[in-house]
Chains A and B, each alone.
Chain A
Amino acid sequence: DAKTTQPPSMDCAEGRAANLPCNHSTISGNEYVYWYRQIHSQGPQYIIHGLKNNETNEMASLIITEDRKSSTLILPHATLRDTAVYYCIVRVAGGLRTSYDKVIFGPGTSLSVIP
């Protein structure tokens, strides 16, 4: 089962900020939060990731709560091209390890940006 839960769908007005929530209450201390998006019929695209600090890149910002049990992806000025399914996943990353985790995707959030 997926380690994350997300709302199935959201709407956002073009030009406004889109805030996509994700719950990951069972996250382990060495697991990062990753966000991907998939535009129809294309491969998923990496957006951003973080461990415990807030992160920002040219695409989005990631806000992780202090207890790390939830996070929010923020698209500051949504455009029609941001209409996609957004996936939040958690996985171990970095450092040496002897086992490899299965990357489990949930159903994601279908974001519709409205003109």
Chain B
Amino acid sequence: KAGVTQTPRYLIKTRGQQVTLSCSPISGHRSVSWYQQTPGQGLQFLFEYFSETQRNKGNFPGRFSGRQFSNSRSEMNVSTLELGDSALYLCASSFHPGQGVTGELFFGEGSRLTVL
């Protein structure tokens, strides 16, 4: 079956612009989480969505936001881009832990954002 799909794979923006990244989870998966990866900070948790609701949030400013649609697809948005937002943004999907499954995460290939 198809894996987690993230679009776009690469993009370049300038400071002050905004960006929207998309994530399509594996069919049947209901939980989507987002991560930022930079060489200096490693993999950092951004937020997790389940049933169109944000369930948990990492320590990122309000410029970082997300949402989940009824089909479990998710988007994240970064407004007023800064140079430090340049990173690989990863999305992961999983089953709902409450259904008794063991919660392993399945990652997409990521969206690489460069802010100039």
Q: List 13 A-B contacts (CB under 8 A).
A: A43-B90, A43-B107, A44-B43, A92-B97, A92-B103, A93-B97, A94-B100, A94-B101, A95-B97, A100-B48, A105-B42, A105-B43, A107-B42
CB <8 Å contact, B98 and A96: yes
Residue of A43, A94, A101 with most chain B CB atoms under a 10 A cut-off: A43
Against A, the Cβ 8 Å flags (1 = close, 0 = not) of B77-112 are 000000000001010100001101111111111100
Q: Interface range on chain B: under 10, 10 to 19, 20 to 34, or 35 or more? A: 20 to 34
CB <8 Å contact, A46 and B103: no
Number of residues on chain A facing chain B (CB within 8 A):
28
What's the Cα separation between A103 and B110 when bound, in Å?
A: 17
B residues lining the A interface (CB < 8 Å): 4, 33, 35, 42-45, 48, 50, 55-56, 58, 88, 90, 92, 97-98, 100-110
Closest to B53 in A: A100
Closest to A91 in B: B103
Is A49 at the interface (CB under 8 A from chain B)? yes
